[in-house]
Amino acid sequence: MKYKLETIPVWDALKEDSECLLCFLEEKIEDYYLNYYLGSSVMNPETRVKVNQQGFCSDHFRGLLGKNKAHALGLMTHTHLQETLKKLTPLLKDLNKQGTKSSQKGGSTKNLEKTTAKLKESLFSRTDQCLVCQGIERTMRRYAFTIAYLWKDDEEFREAFRKSRGICLDHLPLQLDLGAEILKPRELGDISQVLAELTQQSLERLEGEILWYTQKFDAQNAQKDWGTSKDAHRRCIQKLIGPIKKA
């Protein structure tokens, strides 16, 4: 078995009856990683080397900032900045040099363009390397694996999953991939069929809920009951894009 089973959190998430059990798990795991990088791991040399090299994307640096752990965040940010400075200094020097050359009369921008491309590549790669994003991705694969495994192994889970609101559009590809990775053709066929039905039903139900949500703003409907639509906008957005309680 390639992945570790996580049956307890997956069952707990299913019982939450949300628009997507994987969203529920992702919000929790994101919080776990943010706390992890601000906890005692700050003093762990191996983790520090990784943080110095890779850092975090903008969402997760904001998330770390929101945790109000000033000292730990300061230490980590300092050494990460030192590493960033080391990486960028030659590229910035080059940009400066090529900029100066191009600014001279008759100067070409050919080398300047090359240097700019290199600098951009280095700047963009910072976001792809975010340690929290990578941790979330690893763990979410384990959860999606567990869902597929329970689907295959546990009749009670299959029943409960069939009655759930399914999975959001953001997590659906992950779940289909993990199903394809471990299930036999017949099992994969079953779960795919159920995922298709749950998704179709959810989108149609949400369309009705969000419609009533918008109509509730008409004066003539002000006194009428919200029904289930009071938070329809939030649930609708979650179904479309995944977890909305980002960092």
Site residues (CB under 5 A) for Zn ion?
Answer: 20, 22-23, 57, 60, 130, 132-133, 168, 171, 242
Cα-Cα-Cα-Cα dihedral sign, residues 172, 178, 180, 186? negative
Assigned token pair, 62? 């904001």
C-beta closer to Zn ion: residue 112 or 140: 140
Report d(CA 89, CA 124) in Å as an integer: 16
> CB of residue 135 vs Zn ion: minimum separation in angstroms?
9
- Cα separation values, 197 from 149, 165, 204, 209, 228, Å: 20, 10, 11, 18, 21
C-beta closer to Zn ion: residue 23 or 112: 23
DSSP state letter for 83: H
- DSSP assignment of 6-54 equals -HHHHHHHHHT--S-HHHHHHHHHHHHHHHHHHTGGGG-HHHHHHHHHH
C-beta closer to Zn ion: residue 38 or 168: 168
Report d(CA 243, CA 4) in Å as an integer: 23
- Cα separation values, 6 from 3, 86, 138, 142, Å: 9, 40, 13, 7
Helices 131-153 and 7-15, interaxial angle, to 10°? 80
Report d(CA 5, CA 7) in Å as an integer: 6
Assigned token pair, 183? 């299930």
Contact 95, 119 (CB under 8 A): yes
> CB of residue 127 vs Zn ion: minimum separation in angstroms?
7
C-beta closer to Zn ion: residue 19 or 112: 19
> CB of residue 243 vs Zn ion: minimum separation in angstroms?
6
> CB of residue 130 vs Zn ion: minimum separation in angstroms?
3
Question: Any idea which residue has 């951009």 for tokens?
Answer: 120
Residue 5: which H helix or E strand, with range?
Answer: none
> CB of residue 16 vs Zn ion: minimum separation in angstroms?
12
C-beta closer to Zn ion: residue 179 or 242: 242
C-beta closer to Zn ion: residue 95 or 160: 160
C-beta closer to Zn ion: residue 22 or 112: 22
> CB of residue 184 vs Zn ion: minimum separation in angstroms?
25
> CB of residue 2 vs Zn ion: minimum separation in angstroms?
22
